[in-house]
Amino acid sequence: MPIRGLIVHGGAGRWEARRLERAKPVLIRAVERGIEAFNENGDVVSACEEAVKVLEDSALFNAGTGSTLNIFGEVEMDASIMRGWDLEAGAVAAVRRIKNPISLARKVMEETDHVMLVGEGAERFARALGFQEYDPITPERLEKYRKYMQKLKEEGIDALPVRWKRLGELMKKYPHYFHGTVGCVAVDDAGKIVSASSTGGVFLKLEGRVGDTPQIGSGIYATEFAGASATGIGEGIARVVLSKRICDAVERGISIGEAVRMGIDYLTERVGLDAGVIALDVEGNVAHHSNTGTMPVAYYSNGKMGVEQG
């Protein structure tokens, strides 16, 4: 068997039905590309990276091309990747002009002594390594941003900075802005686990805001027992260190399905913000759970392919 398990998600949120239908084949393609990449070079890190790249390159998701815009109408993306067998990890935060932040996160893991690079420093590092300048802003995102700014003006709210305590309210009012981060977790036939995630963050975030995605332990985590990758409002995910919580539960003997449910229930109870997570164990059993109603996922698990709405 080439790879035991690989699962990807397209973001937890309240998806419009049409967009959800368009997302599913892209998620399946991401799983297939991950498996192909593994077959090409037997490397589970490449499997995760390539699966995430398919999702970053699709404007349907809030990662890479088509990332959501911050309060000033700019893109600032975060991404991370982690190996379970030796706990090596790499992350980038608040990068703007990069096509595939997940590939840059991998370079941080494999070619530096650090775990995370941010902003201009991360971009300078990218250029030195040959990453081309790339504008990930799509006309669709720009249009939504302009419409929202117009609405703010018309309603007389010209104070641009959104206070974070109002994020929950804002999400209920404009749910379509808040979905779409992508993630992947994979395990090969030797039991090597890799977790990865990539995002444009949350709409109207303050400039410089960094969410859970590049925070190792919160947005992603991987051990010899399990791997997890989260999505949702990063402030909630970070406050409960969601991904590590799930991996630790599996290490204590809890099943992967139960571990994701317990993790999301704990987050919901303690911080009450939207969140979802995908995970798998060393045997290739996959699991996913969210408190948002929808989180499209596709997976391969011990010979079977699947796609679900979450």
Interaction between residue 277 and ligand ASP (CB under 6 A) = no
Minimum Å gap between C-beta 236 and ligand ASP is: 8
Handedness of CA 145, 147, 149, 152 (dihedral sign): negative
Question: Any bridge partners for residue 183, and if so which?
Answer: 9, 197
Contact predicate 286/279, CB 8 Å: yes
Minimum Å gap between C-beta 262 and ligand ASP is: 19
Contact predicate 210/94, CB 8 Å: yes
Among 5, 10, 11, 64, binds ligand ASP (CB under 6 A): 11
Interaction between residue 67 and ligand ASP (CB under 6 A) = no
Question: Any bridge partners for residue 226, and if so which?
Answer: 281
Candidates 68, 112, 138, 181; catalytic one: 181
Interaction between residue 301 and ligand ASP (CB under 6 A) = no
Give the CA angle between residues 66, 72, 74 to the nearest 5°. 30
The CA distances from residue 32 to 84, 169, 192, 296, in Å, are 22, 38, 19, 16
Backbone angles phi, psi at 294, to 5 degrees: -135, 135
Interaction between residue 64 and ligand ASP (CB under 6 A) = no
Instruction: Give the x-and-dash track for 226-245 against ligand ASP (CB under 6 A).
Output: -----xxxx-----------
Minimum Å gap between C-beta 239 and ligand ASP is: 12
Interaction between residue 284 and ligand ASP (CB under 6 A) = no
Instruction: Give the x-and-dash track for 177-216 against ligand ASP (CB under 6 A).
Output: ---xx-----------------x-xx--------xxx---
